[in-house]
Amino acid sequence: MATMQAQIQALLAGGAGGRVEREEGRGGGAEVAKPQIFDGTLANVGGFIAACKLYIRMRLRGESVEGQVQWILSYVQGGMVDIWKENVMEELKAGEVEYETAEEFLISLKKEFGGGEEESVKAAELRKLEQGGRTIEEFMQEFKRAARGSGYEGRPLVEEFKREMNGGIRRKLMEVENPLASIEQ
């Protein structure tokens, strides 16, 4: 209760003149992060698409597909991606291409910048992971994210997980009677 009161006081003292501004009819008052600017980099495609999907679901649900696509394009900037963006905008204006949903547009963006060999890219990303200074829980979440779509599963996935964790934990796991059957153990 005290925390909530402190937050209310902070809002009242803030620059909104005591008003909490909400986007009416667009997902209520929940705060949703906007995506980072997308520059066409392969490593950023998945995160950009996920952030766009979430923001659209939470804030732009009532917008037209055209409005949603234009909003996504406003976050596509820099280098070669600008040329692609200009081409898409011209095709939309000329009626040469039409998207049924923003999701369909994001699929085309993924095909253009996703590198076509997603599984091999994900597998390489998975093999580069190391626990480092992260807790085992933090590392496990990052590992699960990287493992999705990598082609690894079952025993090879467990072996990769053990290989990438810190040495002390790995040695203890090797000493147990019942070896891990999944990374959830």
pLDDT one-digit tens code per residue, 93-145: 998 888 999 999 998 998 888 865 667 777 888 888 889 898 988 988 988 88
Q: Is the pLDDT of residue 49 over 70?
A: yes
106: nearest Cα among 78, 73, 82: 73
pLDDT category at 36 given cuts 50, 70, 90 is very high
Instruction: Write down the pLDDT at residue 109.
Output: 92
Q: Is the pLDDT of residue 12 over 70?
A: no
At residue 76, what are phi and psi to the nearest 5 degrees? Answer: -100, 110
Residue with the larger pLDDT of the pair 37 and 156: 37
- Whether the Cβ atoms of residue 91 and residue 97 lie closer than 8 Å to each other: yes
Rounded average pLDDT over 156-184: 77
pLDDT category at 155 given cuts 50, 70, 90 is confident
Instruction: Write down the pLDDT at residue 89.
Output: 94
Rounded average pLDDT over 48-73: 95
The residue assigned the tokens 């060999």 is 117
Model confidence pTM above 0.85: no
H helices, E strands: number in the chain: 9, 0
Q: Where are the domains of the chain?
A: 42-113, 118-175
Q: Report CA-CA distances (Å) from 169 to 153, 163, 184.
A: 21, 10, 15
Query: What percentage of the chain carries pLDDT values higher than 90?
Result: 35
Highest-confidence segment of 21-30, 48-57, 116-125, 132-141: 48-57
Instruction: Write down the pLDDT at residue 177.
Output: 66
